[in-house]
């Protein structure tokens, strides 16, 4: 059985208890077999309490027996880019999950994490009506190469890419988007490894276990390519990246 309680001096304690031994006839006779002091209540953000309660429920259900506790979570980040007037645009988003919203709350509870996959919600908005025919844009996920593209067609023909998309409504048929109005695509499953990584990961190893204290690990790169849109027109790119992350605690 697992329970979470205030330790009485400002500390939040997760306790796993065992049933009484067969020799004992008192059902209420239990003993603490492990107590993990997770964080001071005075300094834990709300998201950390969510992480604690998720861990408590998992223990209560009897999952993750042994010395490892794992939990799945979603973390999100927003990036935006703007081009110059009538200029191509090839921005690169360096994906570092340790900088995402709520990551610190989970890192305060768990020892290691790995990224299972990413979902990208992307959009491109021109500053004015695009009158030049055939202007396109697209995006691609690269797990290990940080170099930007220089040709839009190279972006849309990458192995894990989205596009081509029309740059304006005046020169193309209606675009297919999600219910939220964005184009969405996935990185695909990242290669899971059993050992923890450190620092910038090698290509295709975005799914390695990494210490939550390591704030330098890079899980990949999202790259864009946008054609020049015409005189005085700029392109405005937006992407919301959702990371599907697994955290684990070795108690």
Read off the pLDDT of residues 31-43 as tens digits, 9 standing for 90 and up: 333 333 343 334 4
Name the pLDDT band for 94 (thresholds 50, 70, 90): very high
pLDDT value, residue 68 = 66
pLDDT value, residue 129 = 83
pLDDT value, residue 182 = 83
How many C-beta atoms surround the C-beta of residue 150 within 10 A?
10
Predicted structure pTM score = 0.68
Higher pLDDT, 137 or 33: 137
Q: Are 1 and 17 in contact (CB under 8 A)?
A: yes
What is the spatial distance between Cα 87 and Cα 230, in angstroms, rounded to a whole number?
A: 8
* Structural domains of the chain, ranges and CATH numbers in brackets: 67-250 (2.60.120.20)
In angstroms, the Cα distances linking 245 to 44, 116, 190 are 20, 6, 11
pLDDT value, residue 217 = 84
- Over residues 222-251, the pLDDT tens digits come to 999 999 998 889 999 999 999 999 998 876
Q: Are 151 and 137 in contact (CB under 8 A)?
A: no
Whether pLDDT at 17 is above 60: no
What is the spatial distance between Cα 249 and Cα 67, in angstroms, rounded to a whole number?
A: 8
Whether pLDDT at 119 is above 80: yes
Average pLDDT (164-186) is: 70
* Terminal Cα-to-Cα distance of the chain (whole angstroms): 16
What is the spatial distance between Cα 206 and Cα 112, in angstroms, rounded to a whole number?
A: 14
What is the spatial distance between Cα 153 and Cα 61, in angstroms, rounded to a whole number?
A: 51
Average pLDDT (151-157) is: 93
């Amino acid at each position: 059985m697992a329970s979470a309680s205030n330790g009485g001096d400002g500390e939040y304690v997760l306790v796993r208890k065992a049933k009484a031994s067969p020799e004992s006839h008192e059902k209420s006779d239990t003993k603490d077999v492990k107590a993990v002091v997770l964080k001071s209540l005075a300094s834990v953000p709300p998201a950390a309490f969510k992480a604690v309660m998720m861990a408590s429920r998992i223990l209560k259900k009897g999952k993750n027996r042994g010395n490892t506790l794992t939990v799945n979570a979603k973390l999100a980040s927003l990036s935006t880019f703007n081009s110059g007037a009538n200029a191509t645009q090839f921005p690169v988003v360096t994906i570092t999950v340790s900088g995402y919203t709520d990551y610190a709350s989970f890192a305060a509870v768990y020892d290691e994490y790995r990224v299972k996959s990413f979902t990208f919600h992307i959009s491109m908005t021109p500053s004015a009506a695009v009158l030049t025919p055939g202007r396109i844009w697209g995006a691609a996920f690269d797990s290990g190469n940080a170099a930007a593209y220089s040709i839009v067609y190279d972006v849309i023909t990458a192995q894990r890419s989205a596009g081509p998309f029309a740059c304006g409504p005046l020169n193309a048929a209606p675009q297919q988007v999600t219910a939220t109005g964005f184009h969405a695509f996935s990185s695909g499953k990242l290669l899971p490894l059993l050992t923890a990584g450190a620092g910038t990961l090698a290509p295709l190893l975005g799914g390695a276990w990494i210490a939550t204290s390591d704030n330098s690990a890079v899980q990949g790169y999202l790259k864009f390519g946008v054609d020049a849109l015409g005189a005085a027109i700029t392109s405005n790119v937006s992407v919301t990246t959702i990371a599907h992350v697994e955290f684990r605690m070795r108690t």
